[in-house]
Structure 1
C-alpha cells in the first residue's frame, strides 16, 4: 500500500505557521521561547524564523538581557509587511479597524448613517471608512472581513433585502464598493452579524470548544446562526438562520384566539414594532418582560417554540441566547423550560458572554486568521 507523505513544502509551511502564530500571540519572543512554545526543535524554528525574516513578516527587535546563557533577540511582527481590516456595518453606521497580526488595533474609523438606512448611504459610509483605513495603514492590506446586519448571499457578497428586514432599505454590493480600494488579490470575507457573533462566542465565550451550537439573536432584529460538527452552517446561499420567517402561533394584544404566522407576524400582532418600521421596540419589550406582561410572555413562548423546532432539526449541544431582549430572564426561562420538556432534546441553554460589539469581535478574529494564512497557508482550513 502506498502512503502519501507530506511534502517538504507543506512541513515548512506548517512550522512557519506555528512559529508566526506564537510570536504574534505573545507580541515578542526569542527563538528559544518560540521553540518551547511550539514544541518544534531549535533548528526547525531557526529555519522558519529565517524564512519569516526574509519574507518581512517578522523583524528582530531589542536584545534580551539577564537570565542564563547567551543573550538573544526578540522577534516581533512587522506591521509594514501587511495588515487586515475588520469592518462592521449596522443600524448605527460603519465602524472599521486596522489590525496588526498580533491583534493590536492600529486605527479605528467610524461613520454614522441616517435612519432609515439606505444602500446608498451605507455604501458611502463603508467606502469612506475603508479608504481612510487603507490610506493610514503602515503596510498593505492583505485581508478584509465585513459584518453586515442583514442576510448576505455568500456566492456574490451582496446584501439581500428581505421583506421583514429592520435595517437596510435597498440593495448593497459590498464587493463592488470595496474592490477599487483593495489590492486585486484581496477578496473580502462578508457575512451577517449573527454569524460573526457566533464565531466570537466560539472563540471567546460560552460556546468555546463546542462543535454543535445554535445561537439566537433577539434585538431590534432577529436572526440565528449555527455551527454543526465544528463548521459553520450557512445554507446554499448563506441565508440560513432567518428565524423572523419561521412559523409559530400566538395571540395579539386584542384577541385570545391563536393565529399562525411568522415570528415577525407575532411580534407585530403583539405590538412590539416601532411605528413605521420593521424594527422591534426593544425598550418597550424589555419593560414588558420586566413586568412579565401577558403579551411579552406570549412572545417568549413563541421564541421557545421556534428554538425547540430548530433543536430537533439541528440537534445542538448548546443553545446560546443573545441580543438585548434575548438574554432576558423571561426568554431564557421559556426556552430552557421548552427544551427540557421536549422529549429527546439534550441541549443546554446559556446566554452569550460576548455582548459588546460581538459581530466586530468575530470579524476581527476571522480577519487575523485570514491575515496569518496569507503568509502561511493552512491546509484544509475550515471555510467561513
Structure 2
C-alpha cells in the first residue's frame, strides 16, 4: 500500500504507477479490482483513473448492463498507444516483427543478407526492417517506442556483441547504441527464442514450462536454459553456449542435410529440401536427418544432464520439420540420457527470435513505465515514455 504522507507530487506519481501496474498486469479490470490490486483507497483510485483516462494511458470500457443498478466501470491499458519491434539479426537474414504494447503481433518482414555484409550495411538493413514492419502494420514510425534485437554470438549486459563466429565484423557492435532514437535492448538469439517460448500465448491445455532446455535449430544452432520459470543468461551472457566445444560438432551437422540435396539448390533452401525428402520416404534423406539429430542430441543431452529439465523444446526454423526430426532426436536422447524429459516442438518457427526480442523490448518498456521514481506520466502521445 502506498503511504499517505510525504510530498503530494511524489505521492501522486506513486499512485499513478500503482494503478497503471495493476491494470497493465490484470488486463481489463473493474474499479473494485483495481482497488484490491493497487492497495490504494477507492477515492485515490478514482482520482488516478480519471487522470489517466484524460491523458490517454487508460480507456474506460463500455460496461455491460445487467439487471438493476449502475453497471460496474472497467478500465484497460491502451495497448494500441505505442508499439515495439523485435529484430532477429543473423548472418543470412534480418527478420522483424511489430507488436502492440500487449505483445500482439501486427506485422512482420524479412530481408536477406550475407555473412560478409559489412557491419554498417547490416545495421542499415535492420533500420529498414524496423521501418518496413511499421509500414506493413500501418503504424507511424514515431509510435514505435522500443526496439529489441536478438543476434548470433555472445551478447553482454550492455547489448554489445562480445563474440560472433558467424559474422566476421560483428564483435564489438553495441546494438542499443545504434537504435539510440528508441528505447533499445539486445541479447543472444537463442536466449530470446527461449524467452518467446515462455511468454507467447499457447493453447489453454499447455502451460509454459518452468524448467526447459531450448534447442535452437536452424542455419545456426544454439541452446538456452529456463530454470524456475526464468531465463538463465549466466554471469556473462553465455549460459549453455557450446559453440566452442569440438565434441559437439553441431555446426558441421548441417552438411549431413546438405549432402543429400542436389548441388544446384540454393544453400538457404537445402535443409528444407532434405526434410521434405525425408518426409516423402527418401532413404538417404532419412539417414541424413538421423545423423543431424544425433549431433543435436549430444549438446542437448549435455544440458539435460546438468539442468534435469521437465521439457526439451525444439525451436527455430527447423522446428517446422518436427514431424521427421523429433523421433530420431528423442531416440538418441534416450540412448544418451538416464532420464529423458518431455520433448516437444515450438509453434513459433522462424519468428521465435524476433518475438523474443519484442518481449525483451516490452520488459524494458514496462520497467520504464512502472518505475515509481520516474516523473509524472505525461499525456500519451508519440514517444511519451
d(CA) in 2 for partners of 1:102, 1:343: 39
Deviation at 1:234, TM superposition (A): 1.8
Question: Distance in 2 between the 1:86 and 1:267 partners?
Answer: 27
TM-score, normalised to structure 2, is 0.71
Cα distance between partner residues in 1 of 2:256 and 2:224 = 25
| Contact persistence 1:233–1:240 (CA under 8 A) | yes
Contact 1:34 1:45 in 2 (8 A): yes
Q: Deviations over 1:310-345 (max 9, x none)?
A: 211221111011234454344322332333345642
Q: Distance in 2 between matches of 1:109 and 1:280?
A: 20
User: Which one is further off, 205-214 or 264-273?
Assistant: 264-273
**Residues 1:155 and 1:337: Cα distance change in structure 2 (over 3 Å):** same
1:39 Cα deviation after fit: 9.9
Which range is displaced more, 5-14 or 191-200?
5-14
Compared with structure 1, are the counterparts of its residues 124 and 201 closer, same or farther at alpha carbon in structure 2 (3 Å cutoff)?
same
Q: Tell whether the 8 Å contact from 1:112 to 1:125 is kept in structure 2 after alignment.
A: yes
In structure 2, distance between residues paired with 1:264 and 1:332: 19
**Secondary structure of the corresponding residue to residue 227 of structure 1:** strand
Counterpart CA distance in 2 for 1:361 and 1:262 is: 28
**2:88 alignment partner, SS class:** strand
Cα distance, 1:151 vs structure 2: 1.8
Give the equivalent residue in structure 2 for 1:286.
275
Using CA pairs below 8 Å that are at least 6 residues apart, which structure has the higher relative contact order? Answer: 2
Structure-2 change in CA distance of 1:317 and 1:83 (3 Å): same
Is 1:360 equivalent to 2:354 in the alignment?
yes
Match of 1:309 in 2: 302
Structure-1-length-normalised TM-score? 0.71
Separation of aligned partners in 2, 1:329 and 1:130: 33
Q: 1:214 to 1:292 in 2, by over 3 A?
A: farther
Q: Distance in 1 between matches of 2:330 and 2:158?
A: 38
Structure 1: give runs of 5+ residues left out of the alignment. 249-260, 380-384
Q: CA RMSD in A?
A: 4.2
| Kept in 2: contact 1:273–1:279 (CA 8 A) | no
Question: Paired residue for 1:101?
Answer: 101
Structure 1 stretches of 4+ with a deviation exceeding 6 A read: 5-11, 36-41, 277-280
Give distance in 1, aligned partners of 2:291 and 2:214: 21
Q: CA deviation at 1:229?
A: 2.5
Residues 15-61 of structure 1 deviation map (CA, whole Å, 9 limit, x = unaligned): 54112333xx34xx65357568989875564355256447x352455
What's the offset of the Cα at 1:225? 1.3
Whole-Å Cα distance in 2 between the matches of residues 269 and 341 of structure 1?
21
Paired residues, number = 346
Q: Which of these residues, 153, 156, 165, is aligned with residue 154 of structure 1?
A: 156
Does structure 2 conserve the Cα–Cα contact (< 8 Å) formed by 1:220 and 1:280? no
CA contact (8 A) 1:81 1:140 kept: no
Please say which of residues 73-82 and 118-127 is displaced more in the overlay: 73-82
